Amino acid sequence: MAKKPAAGTPATAVLVDQKVEHPLHPYDVSPDAPNYGALVAQALGIGPERVFKTLIAEVDGKLVVGVVPVTGDLDLKALAGAAGGKRAALADRAAAERSSGYVRGGISPLGQRKRLPTVVDDSALALDQMFISAGRRGLQVALAPADLIRLTEAVIAAIRT
């Protein structure tokens, strides 16, 4: 039986390599649209609490990935604490894109060019399946939170506002 194509992103390549079930879900929402995450959830026909965004922040001078539901914002102070630092600020867009290898609106916590410490919001643990970027704009991947945590070696913490 032939393998299903991996949609050609480093994120999906990781999932295929690790034999993780990962249904892909395309959608059509402009990355510049206000309330982007809610629109993605609506386009996919799922609750917005199941859709997570990947944000890259600078914690005490080092880049860190925060994965939070689109229904809230990243609590930078909580992220700093979870990452063992004191201060955090969102990373410059160019630095985030350069480090991850992805473009804004398509940054995935998986398959990043440079592996960064990752913190996943604890709300993911209440879900059987969460949706994250599959590594390009217009494509989400559904997977078990435990798989994302394992593959990114993530810390779990309350990092949403």
Domain harbouring 86, CATH code:
3.90.960.10
List the domain range (segments joined by +) for residue 101.
10-157
pLDDT computed for residue 35 by the predictor: 87
Q: Specify whether the CB–CB gap between 132 and 140 falls below 8 A.
A: yes
Assigned domain for 116 exists = yes
Mean pLDDT of the chain: 93
d(CA 58, CA 79): 10
Assigned domain for 5 exists = no
Give the pLDDT mean for 119-135: 97
Assigned domain for 4 exists = no
Q: In total, how many domains does the chain have? A: 1
Assigned domain for 20 exists = yes
* pLDDT of 65 higher than 60: yes
Assigned domain for 150 exists = yes
* pLDDT of 5 higher than 80: no
Distances in Å between the alpha carbon of 82 and those of 49, 76, 107, 131, 155?
Answer: 21, 10, 21, 22, 7
Assigned domain for 100 exists = yes
pTM: 0.92
pLDDT computed for residue 32 by the predictor: 82
